[in-house]
Structure 1
Amino acid sequence: MENNLYHLQYAMDTFYFLVCGALVMWMAAGFAMLEAGLVRSKNTTEILTKNIALYAIACIMYMVCGYAIMYDNSLLLSGIESVDVDAVMGDFASREDGFEGGSIYAGASDFFFQVVFVATAMSIVSGAVAERMKLWSFLLFAVVMTGFIYPMEGAWTWGGQSVFGMYTLSDLGFSDFAGSGIVHMAGAAAALAGVLLLGARKGKYGPNGQVNAIPGANLPLATLGTFILWMGWFGFNGGSVLKLGDVSNAASVAMVFLNTNAAAAGGVVAALVAARLLFGKADLTMALNGALAGLVAITAEPSTPTAFQATLIGAIGGVLVVFSILTLDKLKIDDPVGAISVHGVVGLFGLLVVPATNSGSSFSGQLIGALTIFVWVFVTSLIVWTILKAVAGIRVTEEEEYEGVDRSECGMEAYPEFTNTSK
């Protein structure tokens, strides 16, 4: 009977991992819709091409080398071996705590869950460099980002490896439950490096310092993308519990879902109120970014706060993102979708607020961890972007930018006003 229960737990935890991974994969659709809605219509096809291509590249590069770097386990060379049932059952039997022990699940499910996180980090870069970057230069960067840059910082954090043999972040009290820093801030750091080299879109900033709004083409699509991301985040955070098949972990999963939702709600309301006070109007784009900011903020630790604390954390993230977007515009750092603010600034906040509810972490450890992630990703990304700029160029011509990168990069329009069928 006990042996059958262990089989059931293995199956349940593996299935839960796969379902949560599928939810995170669906976030790729959310990023695609959000970004397509926030860029101008003449750049829609190209941003969609970026999103589906970067997802495919992430899957391949993480299989080829990323997984091996991050967890010292080469999937490409050794594959996922057939399950040794006796070994799995023996592992369960050797534990004094039985079902309450660590996670045991199929190795393939672990890879699948990890690879969709890599794609999420790269998706963050896509929106920040939108409307003026060359498609193939972006995709070449995606190869390096998903195959090397992200896996290295992942190895130092979730992989438990020492940072260049100097220190181990976990020993310093660093904790990032589902990736506020490891995934989101890392993606924002790579995006910031690219944006600084790329420069702003033509017409975004005036000669006297004024900021000119460049509205997105499809706010219903952007709103749909936000709701898709909100839903996918339950897999992002919930799956990071890594286990479902016992009472305590099932309760933890439920709390993570509750807090994830609460933080997003807090972010929406706080961003909407902040926008109303600053602009005198209800700004939908700020509300959308507020939802995402709340989700990013709670991702570093969604299991230990109360629901009220999670709402408050999300609300602070929602206010932060509004002021961050305005500040970056004053600095003439052009980010069409607010990705650097949502994932970078609020990702840092999410890391630093962890010790408020999790006694197992320390503020100094969180700060050192955040600096390690940011410096590594920003510097290496800046090097790669610089090489790409020198060798292939990273920005389209002024004429191509004016006409829209859909035509120059993809040869088709997302919203053709008419189709000429005459011969």
Structure 2
Amino acid sequence: MNELIEVKYALDTFYFLVTGALVLWMAAGFAMLESGLVRAKNTTEILTKNVVLFAIACTMYLLVGYHIMYSSDAGGFLPSLGFLIGAEHSVDDVVASGGDVYYSARSDFFFQVVFVATAMSIVSGAVAERMKLWAFLLFAVVMTGFIYPIQGYWKWGGGFLDAAGFQDFAGSGVVHLCGATAALAGVLLLGARKGKYGKNGAIYAIPGSNLPLATLGTFILWLGWLGFNGGSELKLSDIGEANAVAQVFVNTNAAACGGVIAALVLAKLWFRKADLTMALNGALAGLVAITAEPLAPSALGATLIGAVGGLLVVCAIVTIDKLRVDDPVGAISVHGVVGIWGLLAVPLSNSDASFGAQLLGIVTIFAWTFIASLIVWAIIKAVMGLRVTEEEEYEGVDLAECGMEAYPEFIGSKK
């Protein structure tokens, strides 16, 4: 390499690593958001899930997932099986990033591995407060090692969806729809929390324990999302790419703002109250909506895309609840319903995208993830069960699964 290429290589590699670290920080956001939206008696267990699922995701992606996703034939349907990134790449390998500019293969792996953990984090909140910890972790092994990488190969690994023209810049479908669909399959087999639904269609709210923590989690996710979308530009080392990254950052933030405003206004008109949880989910919905194409829209266009996501998430949360599908944190609505909207919105600003290709991607990701996840969840249910006992659910899964409470000072001493 000449000196200029070496500088670009170092800059793009560093940018990849820093934005990957921002996405890693989203794990903290999911942990705080979910622990704030569940009851105090279930906090330790959901924190445990978020820490351990991250470790499982990174390990499984290292062992098999990365190879499945990025070492298979272009335009294909069946991925190649293999092990370890090190089997193909030495430490000083480089991979093309367009033209004669390169970045480290290890930085690419690091950036991709934190996306896998994000998809699995989506599942965590939807099955909260009644699923066995070890059943969840066993599913995480299969999800992060096989289910996610296979559909990821179809788009980002150059498989048949990519060949068909399916557009998904940073993962409204590959990450968010995939995670939400896996969650939906689990929730349908798991059932609702005790006391959530009554006779004659009655729905009972089960408030979260810590809204300040949920709000902090939302802001952490908001920050991390700049790396999620910004890093997906892949490089920064020339004027055009630097301007593109700046546009992605502006649009990502604008969409989140549009989602908050739209969700809060709709909640006020519908429920007569300024519902904080809807505003928080509105922010996340805006972020999910713009993730499929954060570069092509104008800043105002991104705001409107996010605003539609904010409206959709409020309607989806209410509708899914009426269908008696119990999702404590609204993950299926935020990442699934709005993920679909984000994918469908791509052709509105990107002339290279078509609604036909977007629909093909949506149907493919949903069908594969739902069927594969349903089979895995069903096997786990048959072998070890998915749900804690009714008594354990009443007492809280913190004690049943982890043997400790997150807020022990709230409990009076036992005599």
The interval holding the TM-score normalised by the smaller chain is: over 0.9
With over 3 angstroms needed to count, the CA separation of the structure-2 counterparts of 1:77 and 1:328, relative to structure 1, is same
SS of 1:105 mapped into structure 2:
strand
Residue 204 of structure 1 and its aligned partner are, at CA, apart by 0.4
**CA offset digits 1:317-357 (Å, max 9, x no partner):** 00000000000010000000000000000000000110000
With over 3 angstroms needed to count, the CA separation of the structure-2 counterparts of 1:354 and 1:380, relative to structure 1, is same
Is 1:324 aligned with 2:316?
yes
Q: Which residue of 1 aligns with 2:54?
A: 55
- Contact 1:67 1:75 (8 Å CA) reproduced: yes
- Contact 2:34 2:125 (8 Å CA) reproduced: yes
Residue 110 of structure 1 and its aligned partner are, at CA, apart by 0.4
Is 1:282 aligned with 2:291?
no
CA distance in 1, matches of 2:85, 2:20: 20
> Which residue among 106, 124, 127 is the counterpart of 2:125?
127
**CA offset digits 1:67-109 (Å, max 9, x no partner):** 010011743552641426xx88xx89xxxxxxx7265100100
CA distance in 1, matches of 2:230, 2:148: 22
Q: Which residue of 2 aligns with 1:338?
A: 330
Q: Which residue of 1 aligns with 2:214?
A: 222
> Which residue among 121, 134, 137 is the counterpart of 2:135?
137
The amino acid that maps onto 1:129 is: V
CA distance in 2, matches of 1:415, 1:359: 53
Q: Which residue of 1 aligns with 2:35?
A: 36
Q: Which residue of 1 aligns with 2:352?
A: 360
CA distance in 1, matches of 2:42, 2:142: 24
CA distance in 1, matches of 2:414, 2:385: 38
CA distance in 1, matches of 2:38, 2:364: 32
CA distance in 2, matches of 1:266, 1:42: 34
TM-score by length of 1: 0.93
**CA offset digits 1:185-234 (Å, max 9, x no partner):** 00000000000000000010111211100000000000000000000000
- Contact 2:35 2:47 (8 Å CA) reproduced: yes
CA distance in 2, matches of 1:76, 1:241: 22
Counterparts of residues 12-411 of structure 1 (less than 5 Å): 12-72=11-71, 74-78=83-87, 80-83=89-92, 101=99, 104-161=102-159, 168-411=160-403
Gaps of 5+ in 1: 93-99, 162-167
- Contact 2:8 2:101 (8 Å CA) reproduced: no
The amino acid that maps onto 1:111 is: F
With over 3 angstroms needed to count, the CA separation of the structure-2 counterparts of 1:257 and 1:76, relative to structure 1, is closer
The amino acid that maps onto 1:411 is: G
SS of 2:12 mapped into structure 1:
helix
- Contact 2:66 2:85 (8 Å CA) reproduced: no
Residue 169 of structure 1 and its aligned partner are, at CA, apart by 1.5
Q: Which residue of 1 aligns with 2:76?
A: none
- Contact 1:103 1:242 (8 Å CA) reproduced: no
SS of 1:399 mapped into structure 2:
helix
The amino acid that maps onto 1:381 is: S
- Contact 1:30 1:224 (8 Å CA) reproduced: yes
With over 3 angstroms needed to count, the CA separation of the structure-2 counterparts of 1:307 and 1:102, relative to structure 1, is farther
CA distance in 2, matches of 1:332, 1:170: 36
CA distance in 2, matches of 1:127, 1:102: 43
CA distance in 2, matches of 1:66, 1:228: 27
CA distance in 1, matches of 2:153, 2:118: 17
SS of 2:293 mapped into structure 1:
coil
Gaps of 5+ in 2: 72-81
- Higher mean displacement: 237-246 or 65-74: 65-74
**CA offset digits 1:51-72 (Å, max 9, x no partner):** 0000000000000000010011
Identity of aligned residues (%): 71
With over 3 angstroms needed to count, the CA separation of the structure-2 counterparts of 1:420 and 1:336, relative to structure 1, is closer
**CA offset digits 1:372-399 (Å, max 9, x no partner):** 0000000000000000000000000000
With over 3 angstroms needed to count, the CA separation of the structure-2 counterparts of 1:67 and 1:30, relative to structure 1, is same
With over 3 angstroms needed to count, the CA separation of the structure-2 counterparts of 1:278 and 1:421, relative to structure 1, is closer
